[in-house]
Amino acid sequence: MDGRALTDFPCVGGNISRRGAEALRKGIWVLCVSASLRDTFPRVLGAYTLPRVPGSAIPAFPDGPNSCLVGTIMSKTALNFAGQGAQAVGMGADFAAQIPSAKAWFDRANEALGYDLASICFQGPEAELTRTENAQPGIFLVSWVACRLLLDRVPDLAFHATAGLSLGEFTALAAAGAMTFEDALKVVRQRGRFMQEACDVTRGGMAAIIGLDEAPTREVCEQAGVSLANLNCPGQLVISGPADKISAACDLAKARGARRALPLPVAGAYHSPLMATAQPKLDAVLAQVRISAPSVPVVANVTARPHGQPQEIQRLLVEQVTSSVRWEDSMRHLLAEGFTRFIELGPGTALSGFMKRIDKTAQVLNVADIPSLEATVKALTT
């Protein structure tokens, strides 16, 4: 309900019952008006809709003879998962040191992979963590642990969709039950390895284009022979392609009015045709994994719309390797569907920053470490 309280609606005598107060804590707006206003209340709401919560009805309100429950408006929550580039030495270390269940997840990951990924996350060295085959499963793991810890602390938190940036799409699918933890972790490790192999046989690069709209940036890409890799938020796009062409594209972007065009310290040209050799390998690995229908909508990077059947999930995950990440469009789709709260899970706060530029009215929370976990729990429970 766009964050406004009932008192912001004139002519409505409203109150929240004891049951309603509990529902509010779970992210559900419960609207209670006097029985005499029951027929006029939808008209007061104007353009607001009253979607029915699955399994609920509109019964007589139990907490007073002169009140009635006229509807519910979900304050819909999406979980967003970090992508490559968010990695930092030390990520997840305080989780494992202070919370036994977190340490158990890191131990479980080490056993599944057959090597000490947790140690690389906690202690580095940075060069080892930055390697794609370690960065991708490392970010997946820390993001997964952040998610589980949040749900442990706020067990009645309802989330209604998930999304993830690039590799974060795998975490989003796992969080929605489309893959098991172990399967997704192993696939992401293989994905990172395949992409590293593609980097080793190509000389690619990426650059952030700041302050230039999508249409002129696409024209720059076409002129320079590079690809538009990420559409993150207004004013922040990322291009990808052969390293020598990236340099020329940066010059063209500045000439077209970009405030900045910054080459990024990455190993290769992700989300461009230079990653094509990774696709058949990833497809073969995914074919060996059981993919189920997700329990909530999971927004695909390629389409900026929810995934469909398991076969489509596999196809889009393979396609994603060489396709643009349509992050801004993905978030705008969720906003249009009534989502008002976005919780970023995993190292860094890049996704939170993007959302603040996409829609300043959205509630943005994050869990990256113990302090941010505590802050988010407090925001959700008080």
Q: Which residues form the catalytic set?
A: 166, 271
What is the rounded CA–CA span in Å between residue 157 and residue 25? 8
94 backbone φψ class: left, alpha, beta (φ>0; ψ -120 to 50) = alpha
Q: Which residues pair with 365 in a beta bridge?
A: 343
Provide the pairing of β-strand 236-242 with 204-210. antiparallel
Burial string for 261-270 (b: 16+ CB within 10 Å, else e) reads beeeebbbbb
3-state secondary structure the chain: CCCCCHHHCCCCCECCCHHHHHHHHCCEEEEEEEHHHCCCHHHHHCCCCCCCCCCCCCCECCCCCCEEEEEEEECEEEEEECCCCCCCCCCCHHHHHHCHHHHHHHHHHHHHHCCCHHHHHHHCCHHHHHCHHHHHHHHHHHHHHHHHHHHHHCCCCCCCEEEECCCHHHHHHHHCCCCCHHHHHHHHHHHHHHHHHHHHCCCEEEEEEECCCHHHHHHHHHHHCCEEEEEEECCEEEEEEEHHHHHHHHHHHHHCCCCEEEECCCCCCCCCHHHCCHHHHHHHHHHCCCCCCCCCCEECCCCCCECCCHHHHHHHHHHHCCCCECHHHHHHHHHHCCEEEEEEECCCCHHHHHHHHHCCCCEEEEECCHHHHHHHHHHHHC
Q: At what angle do helices 181-200 and 132-153 cross, to 10 degrees?
A: 150
